[in-house]
Each structure stands twice: as structure tokens, then as C-alpha cells.
Amino acid sequence: MGELFGVNLSPANRYGGFKALRQRWLEHIKSTLFRPVLLIDEAQEMMSCSLNELRLLGSAEFDSQCLLTVILCGDMRLPERFRSNALLALGSRIRYRRVLEPYSAEKLRECLEYTLDQAGAPQLMTKPLMDTLVEHSAGNLRLLNTMAAELLTVGAKQEQAQLDEKLFLDLYALTPRKARSR
């Protein structure tokens, strides 16, 4: 941030650097009429001191003026972290919390069918294979897509016209095989 706004930030003078950065930031907001948005994925892994720095940087005039919108994305450990003493002040300033639930089996099935239709190959997977994929994806769309892509890759290498649950069992068997064709 300091480099972006031309402010020398040093550990020896954190407060001076912080004030200078905040002033440059305010000037930037006034001149451009844009407020920056910072998106942080896997925020549950961030150090508490870094999250608190964002809290301090994000507002001015005793929290009456918003300088930065921060979107924190993470797993279910993130809301729990805001209950700790170190992050209680930050947790109390969060204006909107959105907890995403796992997808239902019906939604995952619809997505898989839609994807196959859009690819022009609705017959590519058997219905039992689609049921198996949905069941093993645990409500996670990314996992469903990853497994389907792996099956497609193996199926293409084996020149299969239709992917079935036998291929799934072969690919994801718990017992290791000597020659796994991936």
C-alpha cells in the first residue's frame, strides 16, 4: 500500500507512515470519487495483527468515514475468530455477514445437467454416475466439477463414448493400483 501511494512505511515509524498513508488515501478518494474494495480469500488464515491493521486503515474520524471496503472470505473458522479477544473490535464492525451453505443435491444435479447440455453432450454421463458424483461432492460445486473433469479426462484417454459409475469406481478406488491411467 505504501509503495502504491508513494509513502515510505517503516517499522521504526509505524504511526507516521500510517498517518501519511491515510492522508494520501483520503486525497485519492476525493480526487477519483472511488473507494477501494479489498477482497481477501482464505481470511481465516490471516494473522490477527494484519486483520486489525485493516480495521485501522479502513476508517477515519472515529469510524464515521469509510475509506476501504474489505470483503473477507473464508471457511467456518472465520466467524469464530471474530469472537476472540484479539479480533472482537473488528468483529463488531462487520456490517454484513453472509454464510454460505453447501449446495443441495438437487442444485448440484441441475448444475451438472446444465453443464453437460451446454457442452452439447447431455448423454455423456449415465444417470447413476451423475447421482454418484453429486453424492460424493458433499455439497461443494468445485469438488463436483473437479471430479467430473477428472472423469472426462480419463474417459477421453480410454475413448469411452459414455462415462459410467464403473469408471468412477476405477478412478477413485481406495486401494492403490499399480498403473493408474490419469
Q: What tens digit of pLDDT does each residue of 3-57 get?
A: 878 888 888 887 888 888 888 888 888 899 888 889 999 999 999 999 988 888 7
> How far apart (Å, rounded) are the C-alpha atoms in residues 14 and 149?
49
Q: What tens digit of pLDDT does each residue of 71-101 get?
A: 999 988 999 999 999 999 888 888 889 988 8
Is the pLDDT at 108 greater than 60? The verdict is: yes
pLDDT for residue 67: 81
